[in-house]
Amino acid sequence: MTTTNFKRTKLACYTAYFTMSSVFCLPPLLFVTFRNTFGLSYTLLGTLILINFCTQLAVDLFFTALSGKLKTEAIVRIMPLVTTFGLLVYALIPTLFPNIAYLGLVIGTVIFSVSAGLSEVLLSPTIAAIPSDNPQRDMSALHSLYAFGVFSVATVSTVFLKIFGTHNWAWIVGFFAFLPVIAAVLFMTSPMPDMSSAHTENGSLRPKNNTVGVVLCVACIFFGSCAENAMSNWISSFMEKALKIDKALGDILGLALFAILLGLTRILYSKFGKNIFNMLLIGMVGASVCYLVVGLSSSLVLAFIACVLTGTFVAMLWPGTLIMMEEKMPRLGVSAYALMAASGDLGASVAPQLLGIVTDTVSASALGARLATSLSLTAEQIGLKAGMLVTAIFPILGATVVIIAMRYFKKQEKTDLLQLK
């Protein structure tokens, strides 16, 4: 089957990744609304993120173990409908869970998180299995559409809530719930590539000499995911509560601009990027600096710029690690993608939850109260800044892992050359 036969399939993958952004972006945009409407703490709101990514982690690990025994083509076709079902539960919370709204949030989160986990495990290897002259470009383009999806969700939902009021939040969730149906229709009317090429013979990770390399990639994507998702999940609340920026303005100029920089960086790398190691190292170091500036700066403008600029630095940390894995250890199989997704989801659950816990803890502490008084800030502002400051440890550790990976793979290349001689 020629490459042109898979144009609709590739479009379906891109559409699914684009619409999946609502699963990650929409709940954090509504955090302050949920806090005001249902009286939820930052810890409980952070727990929703933890549930989201822990559910995805379970799905990832499930596929790591059983990828060779599942009908992946059938699962790919139905997974967008699961996203729709989960978001509809969210939208119907006022009707189904009027007195126990948090339970509804948890149930809806679990459902659409299953679909998100499936998407992360299966969409990348599906794109990789489609014949292409430039597979790196296709992979980077796939991940860039997630970023542009975040921008679209942030912009549309912010404008809607500004015009119709935050009390109508369920309607915008219902709107985004129906968009994944488009991806499902495209998948059901498209041919699927031969996924067997993405498996090894027994569906497990290949040779033992790849173990160290895989571990380094797993660690790299974990810290990169921490750096990306802590900011993407909390930037809206930070803009509104810590920087005292109007919610609509903060979401459009904050989260939306963060997402644009995320997507543009991925697009630019797909066209001009060459050295993924340098890109990963610059990304980790740059993200570290941004988090430190956000946490320590007393300047609203400087903190705002650092929040947004984080999008540029974290853009390639997740897809870039996948590219590194493909370059240095090709044809590892779907199980490797599942393992990478598991590590990424673990990072995406740990960092935002930790940020929420630190925010609540510092806000309620005597030290936080004293700092707030001395700096003429509220305890909540001090708590959010402390959360951002603690998060800086993840990209700092990530930079260390990238340096180790660079040395390891260079050593492996020299060893391979000697063996060939």
Q: How many domains does the chain have?
A: 1
DSSP character for 209?
Answer: G
In a domain, 2, yes or no: no
What average pLDDT score do residues 20-40 get?
85
Over range 391-409, report the average pLDDT.
Answer: 96
The answer to whether the CB of 30 falls within 8 A of the CB of 169 is: yes
Identify whether the C-beta of residue 392 lies closer than 8 Å to the C-beta of residue 288: yes
Residue 225: its pLDDT value, please? Answer: 95
Higher pLDDT, 67 or 250: 250
DSSP 265-305: HHHHHHHH---HHHHHHHHHHHHHHHHHHHHH---HHHHHH
198 pLDDT tier (thresholds 50, 70, 90): very low
Tokens encoding 160: 């809607």
Whole-angstrom distance, CA of residue 262 vs CA of residue 130: 25
Structure-block tokens of residue 394: 């993840």
The residue that leads in pLDDT, 62 or 13, is 13
Q: Which residues contact 234 (CB under 8 A, 6 or more apart)?
A: 28, 352, 355, 356, 384, 387, 388
Query: Is pLDDT above 70 for 108?
Result: yes
pLDDT at 109: 93
pLDDT for 282:
97
In Å, what is the CA distance from 3 to each residue of 54, 344, 376?
A: 36, 30, 61
Read off φ and ψ for residue 393, nearest 5 degrees.
-65, -30
Mean pLDDT for 70-97 is: 89
Q: What is the pLDDT of residues 258-313, one digit of tens each?
A: 989 998 998 888 888 778 899 999 999 999 999 999 999 989 999 999 999 999 99
Residue with more model confidence, 185 or 271 = 185
Contact 150, 25 (CB under 8 A): yes
**CATH number, domain with residue 57:** 1.20.1250.20
Residue 68, pLDDT above cutoff 80: no
Q: Is 398 inside a domain boundary?
A: yes
Residue 201 has a pLDDT of 41
What pLDDT score does 370 carry?
93
Q: Model confidence over 163-183: pLDDT tens digits?
A: 999 889 999 999 999 999 999
Q: For residue 2, what pLDDT is reported?
A: 46
Q: Is residue 6 part of a domain?
A: no
How far apart CA 342 and CA 338 sit, in angstroms, is 6
pLDDT of residue 312: 96
pLDDT score at 207: 47
Does some domain include residue 260? yes
Global pTM? 0.77
Q: What DSSP designation does 87 have?
A: H
Q: Is the pLDDT of residue 197 over 50?
A: no
Q: Evaluate whether residue 213 is within a structural domain.
A: yes
Tokens describing residue 14: 């891109």
Confidence grade of residue 421 (pLDDT, cut at 50, 70, 90): low
Is 26 part of any domain?
yes
Residue 210 pLDDT greater than 60, yes or no: yes
In this structure, are residues 312 and 261 in contact, taking their beta carbons and an 8 Å threshold?
A: yes
Domain hosting 234: range is 12-420
Residue 215 has a pLDDT of 92
Q: Would you give the DSSP letter of residue 242?
A: I
Highest mean pLDDT among 207-216, 342-351, 393-402: 393-402
Inside any domain, residue 1: no
The answer for 165, left when phi > 0, alpha when psi is -120 to 50, beta otherwise, is: left
Residue 7 belongs to some domain of the structure:
no
CB 233 within 8 A of CB 307: no
Exposure letters 167-178 (e unless 16+ CB within 10 A, then b): eebeebbeebbe
Q: Helix, strand, or coil here: 365?
A: coil
Q: What pLDDT shows up at residue 185?
A: 94
Q: Tokens 């180790």, residue?
A: 404
Q: Residue range 319-332: average pLDDT?
A: 84
For residue 204, pLDDT beyond 80: no
pLDDT for the residue numbered 117: 85
Looking at residue 145, its pLDDT comes to 87
Instruction: Please say whether the beta carbons of 11 and 185 come within 8 A.
Output: no
Per the prediction, the chain carries an average pLDDT of: 86
The helix (run of H) or strand (run of E) holding residue 350 is helix 334-364
Q: Which residue has the higher pLDDT, 233 or 194?
A: 233
The most confident of 244-258, 316-330, 394-408, by mean pLDDT = 394-408
pLDDT at 346 over 90: no
> What contacts 98, CB < 8 A, 6 or more positions away?
none
Report pLDDT for 419. Answer: 64
- If you average pLDDT over each of 50-54, 132-136, 188-192, 394-398, which comes out highest? 394-398
Query: What's the rounded mean pLDDT across residues 22-33?
Result: 84
Query: Can you tell me the distance from the alpha carbon of 309 to that of 301, in angstroms, rounded to the nearest whole number?
Result: 12
Mean pLDDT confidence for 334-362 = 86
